[in-house]
Structure 1
Amino acid sequence: MLDNLTKLTYQTFQQSKNYFGLAHKILSSQLRNLVHPTVVQMSNASPEVIVKLQNRLNQLLEADWQDAQKQIYPQSLLFDNSWEDFFRYYPMLCLDLPQMWERITQNRYQDFSPETYQEGYPNYYLQNFHHQTDGYLSDLSANLYDLQVEILFGGAANPMRRRILAPLKHGLQKFQGLPPRQLRILDVACGTGATLKLIRAAMPQASLFGTDLSPAYLRKANQLLCQNPGELPQLLQANAEELPYLDNYFHAVTSVFLFHELPASVRQTVIEQCFRVTKPGGVLIICDSIQMNDSPDLADMMDGFPKMFHEPYYRHYIADDLVERLEKVGFQDIEIQVHFLSKYFIAYKKEG
């Protein structure tokens, strides 16, 4: 009876986040029509697609619940939400909308404020991804990012992130003879630390590492991860094309929502780097957007996504063969999973 009540509470909690995301989209659309009526809108999804999306969401939430029941991660993660950040940053998100709409109407996709430091970054990274003010290079962007992603996915971002935890723990079983603190896990492009926070909850004694190009996002990650019990992950500013670690160092490497924001050649380089730093027998887990061959029924939505949210490399990504890329560098036993709007590649490096 208690489990049923808890499950109902979880479903209600997730549904409330979904409703909030919908309410925000309606509000922002009405405000946009008043301020910038010429901003292009993405075509409405058909009723059939909406039903399919709702079914996919329900399946995701059921998988999330079941993994918590299997004790892959604590049940408390199901209800984890930073309400303090929400009340602090949601007004700022609304205030930032006019600047975002201005960039959309003027097709300004590499627009940064004068005080934003841009030296040393690859050109492909200097983008207003999602039309964000200052791209990934300001504290404002870092503070708003998680809220924006939750709204985009209707509250399903963390349930999608948590789908890496079961294959991660499974992939590390071959190293179970090691003391837990000797297990080393790297999260590439860790952003605000959301994925590392989940990994820490599931594996409280593992040694965690994270890299990201953005100092602002790493500052935000430190703020987030300092709130959790356990050893603080070691965070470094680094380009995923040149990971600053020894060969064969990590038992597992993860990357969440990175690859659709990389040009094709860079995707290959990052995979090569992930292979290099993974120990023989170790596992790489990539979580990213679904691709066209997974969901042809969502083709219209995927076609509209890169323009609506300024994702300049997305169209190539959704047709890219990441399995071929993984096999090319030596990964094997590649498993693919799809949950809601995300796709997962689980790949192993051959043991010596």
Structure 2
Amino acid sequence: MDPDTQKEAWDRLYSSQGRPWRGVADISWTGIGPGTRVLDLGCGNGKTSEALLERGCEVTGADFSEAAVESCIRLLGHRAEFVTADCRDLPFPDGSFEAVVAVHVFEHVPAEDLGKAVSEALRVTVPGGRICIRCFAEGDMRSGGRKEDVRNGILYRYFSEDDIRGMFRGEDVISVEHVDEPTRFGTVRRRLECVIGKASF
């Protein structure tokens, strides 16, 4: 799928709804503590960045949607740094962050570019640091039994635990948690919450 098409779709979303997802982000599963230098990769509307700031982290947010970044700057720009950047080509030196948090990011990256995005996340993480991923899982109510689909110009992929382990082969998979959220309609929202330790050698 053409990344420019997706960027336009995300820009439309954030331009029309600066805060399309509200509430407080739960980042307890990441194990990230106060004082950690964190990259919020695909920072979106700033929901995760806000939670990281409340935990006392030093936060940089990056998103390829200019409208998303502008929204974050308006909301949190006095407390964190936000930049427009593509997850496949990040503008940060090697080892810039002790942790990278990617909440619902990798499922929107085209399959042919997924390796680049993973490599970049690893590159900007210090040896021994961690990459924390939340993503849609196989069996999610929105998948319709498919591995991927496109809705409103946006790509969605549904991962298995094996997919995550394959993406980060050679790194330390600290945890992979399957999380199910039943809906009142009898369906289930399903996601994975994964913590990957970057090899220290």
TM-score by length of 1: 0.48
Which of residues 172, 181, 187 is equivalent to 1:332? Answer: 172
**Pairing 1:178-257 to 2, within 5 Å after superposition:** 180=35, 183-203=36-56, 206-226=57-77, 232-257=79-104
Which of residues 306, 310, 333 is equivalent to 2:149? Answer: 306
- Give the conservation status (yes or no) of the 8 Å contact 1:168–1:283: no
1:222–1:145 distance in 2 versus 1, CA, 3 Å: closer
- Give the conservation status (yes or no) of the 8 Å contact 2:41–2:101: yes
Following superposition, which runs of at least 4 residues in structure 1 exceed 2 angstroms of deviation? Answer: 122-125, 140-143, 164-169, 298-307, 309-315, 317-320, 338-342
- Give the conservation status (yes or no) of the 8 Å contact 1:291–1:343: no
Partner amino acid for 2:49? L
Aligned: 1:281 with 2:89: no
d(CA) in 1 for partners of 2:135, 2:81: 23
d(CA) in 2 for partners of 1:199, 1:283: 14
Which of residues 114, 124, 138 is equivalent to 2:3? Answer: 124
Which of residues 4, 21, 28 is equivalent to 1:165? Answer: 28
Q: How far did 1:265 drift?
A: 2.1
1:334–1:142 distance in 2 versus 1, CA, 3 Å: farther
Gaps in structure 1 of 5+ consecutive residues? 1-121, 129-133, 151-157
d(CA) in 1 for partners of 2:99, 2:147: 34
d(CA) in 1 for partners of 2:177, 2:5: 31
d(CA) in 2 for partners of 1:213, 1:300: 24
Q: How far did 1:310 drift?
A: 3.9
Identity value in percent: 22
- 2:192 alignment partner in structure 1: 343
d(CA) in 1 for partners of 2:29, 2:107: 23
Structure with higher strand content:
2
d(CA) in 2 for partners of 1:281, 1:135: 36
Q: How many residues align?
A: 191
d(CA) in 2 for partners of 1:240, 1:233: 18
- Structure 1 or 2, whichever has the larger Rg, is 1
The 3-state SS of whatever aligns with 2:200 is coil
- Give the conservation status (yes or no) of the 8 Å contact 1:261–1:314: yes
Partner amino acid for 2:28? L
TM-score by length of 2: 0.80
1:321–1:141 distance in 2 versus 1, CA, 3 Å: same
1:145–1:331 distance in 2 versus 1, CA, 3 Å: farther
Partner amino acid for 1:144? Q
Q: How far did 1:301 drift?
A: 4.0
Aligned: 1:322 with 2:144: no
Aligned: 1:135 with 2:9: yes
d(CA) in 2 for partners of 1:304, 1:281: 32
Structure with higher helix content:
1
Gaps in structure 2 of 5+ consecutive residues? 182-189
RMSD: 3.0
**Pairing 1:96-111 to 2, within 5 Å after superposition:** none
1:192–1:312 distance in 2 versus 1, CA, 3 Å: closer
The 3-state SS of whatever aligns with 2:45 is coil
The 3-state SS of whatever aligns with 1:190 is coil
Which of 1 and 2 has higher RCO (CA within 8 Å, sep 6+)? 2
- 1:10 alignment partner in structure 2: none
